[in-house]
Amino acid sequence: MSQPEAPWQSIARRKQQEQSNLIPEAWKLKTRPAANRNNVLSVPRECGILSDKEIGITEKYDATALVKELAAKRLKSVDVVTAFCKRAAIAQQLTKCLTEIMFEEAIARAKQLDEHLERTGKPVGSLHGLPISVKDSFKVVGRDASIGYASLCFKPAESNSALVEILLQAGAVIHCKTNIPLTLQALDSHNNVFGRVLNPANLKLTAGGSSGGEGALIAMRGSVLGVGTDVGGSIRIPAMANGLVGVKPSHGRIPYAGQENGSIPGTETLGIRSVAGPIAHNIRDCELFFRAVGDLEPWTFDPECVAQTWDQQVVRSAPRTPSLSDHMRRLRIGIVRTDGITTPLPPIQAIFDEIAKALRSNAAIEVVELDITSLLSQCQTIANGLFGVDGANTAFDLMEVTSEPISPWLATRLRRKKSLTAEKVRDLQARRNALQTRFLNIWKSSGGYWKDASGGSRNLDVFICPVAPHPTPAIDTWNTVSYTSSFNLLDYPAATLPVRPIRVSDLNNALTEQTATPNGWEKYNRKLWNDDRSVFLGGTLCVQVVSQCRQERVLLQALSKLQDSLAVLKEDKAVKPKL
């Protein structure tokens, strides 16, 4: 006798059928990739669904180029939006990266924008006609923001999130919302309603979380620019997993108001503040996003936003155009190789050696070794405490309404606890504030954390560190967030920058000998290496770049200089056989 169906199962079936019905039959794959094919990135151009023109639109342009072509009327928004909707439909069928599908409405809006431009000669805004995807937590009128909970399905939003309003006023076209993990607290994007997001570069690898759907969709070019959220690494981790650029700003730079995060309103103000930011294929598209949002005065949409446009941010001379003869104006970058908790695996250590060598060969950059393990090792304890303000009780309440099971990655990591007392929250916040104050010294030449070889007194501009102590791992095996959540705790802007694909040669080095008794994270990390490490192939080695609080312009300009300096590392120097 079969077991009776749980409430969540019927809800999930209805929601998935709704998704399927919103994909036109002509956009559905006639054949599936072979079962042994792990890389599906090229399926959209192979499957015959996209025309040559649509392949060109989705592959030859970035977001910055598209808005220029659209404003100049060399491309029509309806053609661009249709092309990305079709590609998003293909991505969904291969990776389950979507939640809410809004193709029909998006194409209708694109036609209206084309008509407006033809009639007035003026674009609606700086993002006129550009298709943009957003994470499921953003509210869009008439659409669910279920964030993977069956109990929140079929409850459409009655108002837009603040950032959605801004994007629409800038002329963007929101064509879909993207998949996330149950509870938004996992690093592998799986939920019982929409399923598991798969990594299109290697279906065996995680796509990351919690903005995993954004990462997979953009990697497949089903969107040219996406918006994720980040409270512990949820933009930077999917960016690493999918070989993309992802930027987490400081709180107050980008509107966050009006999100669905599965908690009682006000809870987030007691812990670590989540922030919204872009995921894209390149740095200039991230800057396009920040500039577009900043120019529309986000503080008039969200009272917690800083009253400062992108151009009003102060940028010191170093990240702009330094004089090579003036050592005081070189971009000064610190290198942080470990957080003092989990030792990076050999491929991460090796890529940092390569990065340091490449940067030191650039006369416009000054590199210093930055040892802040004594501070970083304190971050995780405080962060873990602040992540558990409500003891996960709201999450379990939402699951129990429909008898919904917890996701695999969370099964051994999340359980009900007592909510923290006001005194405990106060003490954790006091410890965080004290740590933030101590961290101010790491930027100063007089702070004692690095040596100033030039003998001057100029501060660090940015520092770099790993995104994780391992390459992108298999599904449900991501280790620790200590390399990312530390900068949420400190409220520092931080970004993921891809460096190069992982190579077979990266898997040949031995583990570093450990003298101290390894902690749980260290043991787990070593297990990842000692198991079948060939699973790492298909991933991208990345670096995390960090700037001081609310210095997003410094961060992005430093990212551009780093990208230029590290371009040489993309070349595969392995000996190739003669043909």
Q: What is this structure's pTM?
A: 0.96
What's residue 510's pLDDT? 87
314 — pLDDT class (breaks 50, 70, 90): confident
Was 232 annotated as part of a binding site? yes
For 184, which DSSP code?
A: G
Residue of 189, 210, 263, 482 with catalytic role = 210
Cα 498 → chain centroid = 12
Was 210 annotated as part of a binding site? yes
CB 159 within 8 A of CB 143: no
What's residue 1's pLDDT? 60
Residue of 76, 135, 248, 561 with catalytic role = 135
Was 208 annotated as part of a binding site? no
Mean pLDDT of 310-316: 87
324 — pLDDT class (breaks 50, 70, 90): very low
Q: Kindly report the CA angle at 405 between 400 and 406, in degrees rounded to 5? A: 105
Q: What's the pLDDT tens digit per position in 110-148?
A: 999 999 999 999 999 999 999 999 999 999 999 999 999
Tell me the sheet residues that pair with 366: 332
Quick one: how many helices (H) and strands (E) in the chain? 18, 13
Q: What domains sit in the chain, N to C, each tagged with a CATH number?
A: 8-29+40-300 (3.90.1300.10), 327-506+523-570 (3.90.1300.10)
The 10 Å CB-count burial string (b at 16+, else e) for 171-203 is: bbbbbbbbbbbbbbbbbbbbbbbbbbbbbbbbb
303 — pLDDT class (breaks 50, 70, 90): very high
What's residue 119's pLDDT? 98
Residue of 77, 151, 223, 234 with catalytic role = 234
Distance CA 144, CA 137 (A): 9
Was 233 annotated as part of a binding site? yes
Chain mean pLDDT for the chain: 94
φ, ψ for residue 369 (rounded to 5)? -80, 125
Least confident interval from 22-31, 230-239, 567-576: 567-576
Residue 210 falls in the annotated catalytic set:
yes
> If you search the block for the tokens 């953009």, which residue do you land on?
218
Residue 234 falls in the annotated catalytic set:
yes
Distance CA 277, CA 280 (A): 10
Query: Is the pLDDT assigned to residue 456 strictly greater than 80?
Result: no
What's residue 3's pLDDT? 80
φ, ψ for residue 349 (rounded to 5)? -60, -45
572 — pLDDT class (breaks 50, 70, 90): low
Radius of gyration of the chain from its Cα atoms, rounded to whole angstroms: 23
Was 184 annotated as part of a binding site? yes
